[in-house]
């Protein structure tokens, strides 16, 4: 589910030595973050040749499959895929489809993330509510989306609302279960230190202890949820054929235009990678707030 934070740096340095908020302010977490970012940059510089080598290997394997198949309908060559991608882009079809898909994706994921976050906090904060709802949530999570898809569409309609619910359902449970785990796994020693320095209210403890401690879990749920949202978006659009990238894929697939199908699929993994990278960058920024929350 996530990585449990160790130590008590999320609150105020070392509680065993009575470090207060005014002393925690003088600790410098930012340089640590910068060192981690520099280390990540160095690692990226060492890894990029492997990425190039992998891409070259994919191209070689694809061309071998093209030669073996000898049929453009089964395996179009990369020139045909590139020409199809250029045609979809220059005609504006890919642009309009992407805009519609992004609108569906972000609307559904926003509703899912907000709802899952608050429900996860409630379940994690109350042992009774958590024990009552967790089995039900786990049961629903285990039901495949494709099995519930007809029901969701009948209940919520075949328009934008129904597709949005499909996206929200896809991404809801990874966020919920990670937030729940993050709240439940808050170290008790951090709560005791917070009480010793005057943070006795539940809201204050949540703001300065529980939420900073749960950041790794929340961000893990965010990354998993956004990936599942992309999958749910594609399923809803392919199933309904009402617009977006999914409709573009189905339309060209029905006409056996394999190169155009592949060209329409290409933006989906690129979108998932871009969103995951953006989430990782956002997590790096949140880490600074996590370590300094108590000193605000």
Question: What is the dihedral sign for C-alpha 28, 280, 163, 118?
Answer: negative
230 within domain boundaries: yes
Rg (CA), the chain: 24
Residue tagged 């976050």 (tokens): 117
Buried b / exposed e across 229-239, counting CB within 10 Å, b at 16+? bbebbbbbbbb
CATH assignment of the domain containing 264? 1.10.3720.10
Residue 161 CB burial class (10 angstroms; 0-12, 13-18, ≥19): middle
238 within domain boundaries: yes
pTM of the predicted model as reported, rounded to 2 decimal places: 0.72
Helices 211-240/244-254 angle, 10° precision: 30
60 within domain boundaries: no
pLDDT at 164: 93
11 within domain boundaries: no
The domain of 233 spans 76-295
Cα 104–chain centre separation: 15
36 within domain boundaries: no
218 within domain boundaries: yes
Each residue's pLDDT tens digit in the chain (296 positions)?
Answer: 444 444 433 444 444 444 444 443 334 344 334 444 444 444 455 676 777 787 788 878 887 887 877 777 778 888 888 899 999 999 888 889 899 999 999 999 999 999 999 999 999 888 899 899 989 998 988 888 888 888 888 898 888 898 999 999 999 999 999 999 988 877 667 666 666 666 666 676 676 677 777 888 888 899 889 989 999 998 888 887 777 888 888 888 888 888 899 999 988 888 888 888 888 888 777 766 555 554 45
Contact between residue 287 and residue 279 where contact means Cβ atoms under 8 Å apart: no
Number of domains in the chain: 1
181 within domain boundaries: yes
DSSP 8-class letter at 27: S
51 within domain boundaries: no
Name 162's Cβ contacts closer than 8 Å, sequence gap at least 6: 152, 153, 155, 156, 236, 240
């Amino acid at each position: 589910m996530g990585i449990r934070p160790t130590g008590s740096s999320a609150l105020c340095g070392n509680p065993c030595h009575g470090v207060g908020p005014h002393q925690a302010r003088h600790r410098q977490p930012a340089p640590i973050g910068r060192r981690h970012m520099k280390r990540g940059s160095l690692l990226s510089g060492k890894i990029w040749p492997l990425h190039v080598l992998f891409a070259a290997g994919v191209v070689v394997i694809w061309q071998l499959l093209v030669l073996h198949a000898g049929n453009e309908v089964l395996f179009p060559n990369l020139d045909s895929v590139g020409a199809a991608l250029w045609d979809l882009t220059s005609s504006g079809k890919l642009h309009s489809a992407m805009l519609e898909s992004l609108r569906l994706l972000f609307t559904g994921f926003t509703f899912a993330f907000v709802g899952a976050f608050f429900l996860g906090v409630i379940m994690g904060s109350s042992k009774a509510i958590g024990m009552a709802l967790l089995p039900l949530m786990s049961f629903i999570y285990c039901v495949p989306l494709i099995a519930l898809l007809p029901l969701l569409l009948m209940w919520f309609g075949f328009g934008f609302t129904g597709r949005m619910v499909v996206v929200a359902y896809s991404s809801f449970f990874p966020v919920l279960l990670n937030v729940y785990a993050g709240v439940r796994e808050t170290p008790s020693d951090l709560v005791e230190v917070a009480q010793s320095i005057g943070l006795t209210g539940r809201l204050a403890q949540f703001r300065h202890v529980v939420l900073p401690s749960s950041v790794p879990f929340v961000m893990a749920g965010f990354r998993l949820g956004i990936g599942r949202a992309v999958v749910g978006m594609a399923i809803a659009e392919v199933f309904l054929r009402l617009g977006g990238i999914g409709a573009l894929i189905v339309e060209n697939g029905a006409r056996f235009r394999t190169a155009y199908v592949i060209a329409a699929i290409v933006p989906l993994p690129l979108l998932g990678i871009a969103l995951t990278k953006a989430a990782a960058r956002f997590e790096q920024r949140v880490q600074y707030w996590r370590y300094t929350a108590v000193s605000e």
